[in-house]
Homo-oligomer: A and B are copies of this chain.
Amino acid sequence: MMNDDFTIGRLARETACKVQTIRYYEEIGLMPQPLRTAGNQRRYGPSHVARLAFIRHGRELGFPLDAIRQFLSLSDEPDRPCEAADRMARAQLQAVESRIARLQSLKVELERMIEQCKGGRIAECRVIEVLADHAECLHENHVEPV
C-alpha cells in the first residue's frame, strides 16, 4: 500500500543524510521505527523521505534537534495556530543575528592582530602579544561561545 521499499542507503542518498545519522534519529525518536524485512533490515516509504528531508532542512537552517522535534509535532496539528512555529523561527533568527554580531567583532580583532604583525620574531609578534594581554583588545565583550 504505502510501498515501503527504500533501503536505508537509498533514503540516505535521497536526503543527503548519512546512514548512521538516520539510525541515530531513530534511536532518539526523531524518526519513527520503520518496517523490517524478514532479515531485520529497515525499509522506508515516501513519508519517511519527507520527514527526514524536513529534519535535515531544519538542521541546515541551524535549528537544534529539539526545535525540530517541536516543529514536527506542530505540523501534526495543522488546524492549530502557527504562533509557536513563528516564535521559534524568530528565536532562531535572533540567535543567528547575535552569532553574526559576535563573529563580526572577532573578525575585526583578528584583522587588527594580523595587520599589526610584521612577521618578525615571536618576541615581537602581535598575535602572541594580543593573546597574552587582554588589555590590548578593543572589545571586551567577546565572551559567549563561538
Q: Is the interface of A mostly helix, strand, loop or mixed?
A: helix
Contacts of A54 in B (CB 8 A): 131-132
Residues facing B in A29-73 (CB within 8 A) are 50, 53-54, 57-58, 60-62, 71
| A138 interface contact, C-beta 8 A | no
- Residues from chain B with a CB closer than 8 A to the CB of A121 are 78-82
**Interface size bracket, A side:** 35 or more
B106–A103 contact, CB under 8 A? no
Interface residues of A (CB under 8 A from B): 16, 50, 53-54, 57-58, 60-62, 71, 74-75, 77-83, 85-86, 88-90, 92-93, 96-97, 99-100, 103-104, 106-107, 109-111, 113-114, 117, 119-125, 127-128, 130-132, 134, 137, 142-143, 146
